[in-house]
Structure 1
Amino acid sequence: MQEKPAFTPRPHDIATALALLTRLPVNASFARSAQAAWAYPLAGLGAALIAGAVATICGWLGLGAGLTAAFALTTLIIVTGAMHEDGLADCADGFWGGWDKIRRMEIMRDSQIGTYGMLAIGLALLFRFTTLSSLAHAGTIVSAMIAAAMLSRAGMATVMALLPLARTDGLSHRTGRPTRITAVAAAVCALVLSWLVIGFVPTILAASAVALTSFIVARIAMAKIGGQTGDVLGATQILSEIAVLCALVGFA
């Protein structure tokens, strides 16, 4: 078995993470895609800062909590190219639309969306819009989005490191699996930055929500397809983000 490379963070890993997880026009190399997983929270930070700027402008214009949440959420989806939403929909269709692993994997690869996928996206948008509206009304939408974006992507890195690959091709296979120390570095990065943004107690509560959500998604993925794919990672991010936003509404 080929030994995994040691954890050696490099500055250009940030560009790699941005290129993998967003649609921002960055010049990046994908030779270290797996090793760059420690920077996934920083990619989330970049996306959230852009959405936060839009939310701030909406606040200056006095558009109200609902429109602020709608514009901020739309910006997040545009910046990430809806890749995480696509993963959530594919997992919902595949996990509950197929009777065995082979069929589930076939459904997940199908570009068409089914009933389960539509419901998953619709409910995810509902939860995100509702929580962001509450946070916008309380004036904490920007900090909450930043923390949710970073912590949820740390959850992605953890699932990548802990679960085996379910496919022998696809985006997750091309990216590879990071070492566990790389996933730990992603978690530490997200925790420290979130602490600075939202405080210690909210960070612990939000991180606990991500840990629980990631664990549930990982267990379901192992039971349904025997590992992780890019779709599983996308679902992990969206569901973890929702968990963080729900947890932070209590502090709004």
Structure 2
Amino acid sequence: MILSVSKDLKERIKTQLNLFYLALSFFTRLPVPKTMHYSESLLNKANRYFSLVGLVTGLLLALSYVIFSEFLPANISVLLMMAISLLLTGAFHEDGLADMADGIGGGYTVEKRLLIMKDSRIGTYGAVTLVVALLLKFSLLVELAEQDSNYLLLAIILAECLSRAIAGSLISSLPYVTDIEQSKSKPLAQAQSSSELSLLLLIGIAPLAFYSSEIIFSLFIILLAFRWLFKRWLMARIGGFTGDCLGAAQQICELLIYLTLVSHINNDTFAELTFTELTFIGPLLTGVAG
């Protein structure tokens, strides 16, 4: 009996690890075990771990900043960290933002917009949107770094994690409108159960425990408003979502999170941790880097 329960538990853990590895391989260039199994149904189930992938990338980016900042000024360290981010994800989300801007900005019908999104070439709308987004992200990250490196480290982890949760949650409330066989991108999770959505959001909001109630409330209002408006906008423009739209949502949410945090800096609304001061984050990551 005990052996049977133990075997069943191991199989469940193995299944969940496979789903996490699948999500990790989908959104990043990080290596995963060769024993990972893929199928369309498994990819749908893997959406529960999209925000956990953000937690992983956030920790790696925070660690990279700590390493760079030991030898370089804050602005150069931020720029190099952004380069690491693009390498980690293969500019996956940035590509989605550019493609959505090109498609919805350059097309006058739903069919034309979807066709433009599938084009691997970048147009004027996409290029301008991408440049502005990257410059804004760089400016906001530098502002956070100049105030306190600990603010920056925690902000990176929060933004990477929470932005993916908000973007991933759109799967549950919008129809998927791209034909996978004609799409230039990899297949995307198209279904989401209530339990998968709950786990996605639970992991996504976990880093908020480090913040004050004022910041949590601000982020809640801003991101909820964005999600509602973005859903209505997508339904009006293309009748649902595509993978590019989810990538764009992640990038926009990330910028909104950084904007909100920067706006609160001068109000001293960053909360201390329950069990120790926030200043443990920098030294902890420095120790890991060493």
TM-score, normalised via structure 2 length: 0.78
**Alpha carbons 1:167, 1:173 under 8 Å: kept:** no
SS of 1:112's equivalent in the other structure is coil
* Change in CA separation of 1:198 and 1:55 when aligned onto 2, cut-off 3 Å: farther
Match of 1:249 among 250, 253, 262: 262
Match of 1:13 among 3, 19, 44: 19
Counterpart CA distance in 2 for 1:199 and 1:18 is 30
Counterpart CA distance in 2 for 1:176 and 1:21 is 15
Partner of 2:196: 182
* Change in CA separation of 1:231 and 1:214 when aligned onto 2, cut-off 3 Å: same
Q: Is 1:239 matched with 2:239?
A: no
**Alpha carbons 1:165, 1:172 under 8 Å: kept:** no
The answer for unaligned runs of 5 or more in structure 1 is 1-7
Partner of 1:59: 69
Match of 2:55 among 45, 49, 54: 45
Counterpart CA distance in 2 for 1:42 and 1:199 is 22
Q: Is 1:225 matched with 2:238?
A: yes
1:10 to partner: Cα distance: 2.3
Counterpart CA distance in 2 for 1:172 and 1:100 is 24
Counterpart CA distance in 2 for 1:71 and 1:200 is 32
Partner of 2:175: 164
Q: Is 1:25 matched with 2:31?
A: yes
Aligned pairs for 1:171-210 (under 5 A) are 174-191=188-205, 193-210=206-223
Partner of 1:142: 153
Structure 1 outlier segments of 4+, above 6 Å: none
Q: Give the aligned residue type for 2:164.
A: R
Q: Percentage identity across aligned positions? A: 30
**Alpha carbons 2:188, 2:243 under 8 Å: kept:** no
The answer for unaligned runs of 5 or more in structure 2 is 1-12, 266-290
Counterpart CA distance in 1 for 2:217 and 2:186 is 29
| Structure 1 residues 5-29: Cα deviation after superposition (integer angstroms, max 9, x where no partner) | xxx9823322121111111111333
Counterpart CA distance in 2 for 1:157 and 1:49 is 20
Counterpart CA distance in 1 for 2:165 and 2:221 is 12
Match of 1:111 among 120, 135, 154: 120
Counterpart CA distance in 2 for 1:166 and 1:116 is 21
Stretch deviating more after TM superposition (166-175 or 228-237): 166-175
Partner of 1:5: none
Partner of 1:126: 135
Equivalenced residue count is 243
**Alpha carbons 1:165, 1:173 under 8 Å: kept:** no
Partner of 2:96: 87
* Change in CA separation of 1:229 and 1:172 when aligned onto 2, cut-off 3 Å: farther
Considering only CA atoms, is the larger Rg found in Structure 1 or Structure 2? 2
**Alpha carbons 1:158, 1:180 under 8 Å: kept:** no
1:114 to partner: Cα distance: 0.7
SS of 1:12's equivalent in the other structure is helix
* Change in CA separation of 1:14 and 1:203 when aligned onto 2, cut-off 3 Å: farther
Tell me how large the CA RMSD over aligned residues is. 2.0
